[in-house]
Homo-oligomer: A and B are copies of this chain.
Amino acid sequence: MKPVIAIIGGLGEMGRWFSRFFREQGYEVLIGEPGLTPTSAEVAAQAEVVVISVPLHLTEQVIAELAPAIRPEALLTDLTSLKQGPMQAMLKHFGGAVVGTHPLFGPGEASLAGQNVVLCRGRGEEWFQWLHDVLVAGGANVQITTPEEHDRLMSLVQGLTHFTLISLGTTFRRLQADIAAMETLATPTFRAVYDQVRHLVNQNFPLYAHIQLLNPQNRLTHAAFAEAVEQLRQIVASGDAAALMQILEDNQRYFEQWPNSSPVGQANPSSPSKR
């Protein structure tokens, strides 16, 4: 028999997304949401799988509050963008099966097909395998890692990418850039980056803020980026062509260690005039 699934925060964007997904896979899904009845604890108590899908900065608190209501034989999992804190909270407050989940996409996606989803083993191999198989059946690329490795890599993948896009948005604002005029002179490379700047300014601010604030690894990452920016700024300001060429060559040599799996190839439009 298929387990009953409770999604706590089930009216949020990702909560609704996963409610639809599980229902399409034939599961009964119960929704818990703060302020509604039945309460989240009542909903959690009725389920064999409890999925925490509340705002990142509230996740650990909600886990601590709900854990006593969850059946001992149930699976407790979350959909949070960081994994160390939520996993520790789930393992500490709940004695049963625990898996950490991070869907690496947003609620604008039509389906799970081809999307990356991270799973971290907590406790209980059977439930881990069940969740893994449900996601794979939905077409996900399931990536298994540890909470530590996840958060370390996410500091580069999400933390630094968002940090950069926010900084670009701030720069355009501070310089009172004429966005419409810039768009008329867009290159393909600018368009690719600018589209992401623009996309991010309309996203879920608390989530994006806490992806920055709650990952301790970000301090090291941000410091390295700020140093790279300041060094490059000084090199350009002083007109040091040799130092600039050296950076370009060092970066090229670094990336040559990995074959380019990017879809961007020879026919990519992303370069300016070449001479």
Q: Which residues of A contact B (CB under 8 A)?
A: 9, 12-15, 53-56, 79-81, 102-110, 115-116, 118, 143, 145, 149-150, 153-154, 156-158, 160-175, 177-190, 192-196, 198-213, 218-233, 236-237, 239, 241, 244-245, 247-252, 254-255, 257-258, 260-264, 266-275
A104-B272, A106-B271, A186-B157 known; A245 vs B193 contact (CB < 8 Å): no
For this chain, the copies found in one complex come to 2
**Chain B residue, CB-CB nearest to A261:** B183
**Chain B residue, CB-CB nearest to A267:** B108
Does B213 contact A269, Cβ atoms closer than 8 Å? Answer: no
Does B275 contact A55, Cβ atoms closer than 8 Å? Answer: yes
A272-B104, A273-B105 known; A244 vs B81 contact (CB < 8 Å): no
Does B156 contact A182, Cβ atoms closer than 8 Å? Answer: yes
A13-B275, A201-B248, A270-B106 known; A262 vs B195 contact (CB < 8 Å): yes
Query: How distant is the Cα of A161 from the Cα of B237 in the complex, in angstroms?
Result: 17
Query: How distant is the Cα of A177 from the Cα of B220 in the complex, in angstroms?
Result: 12
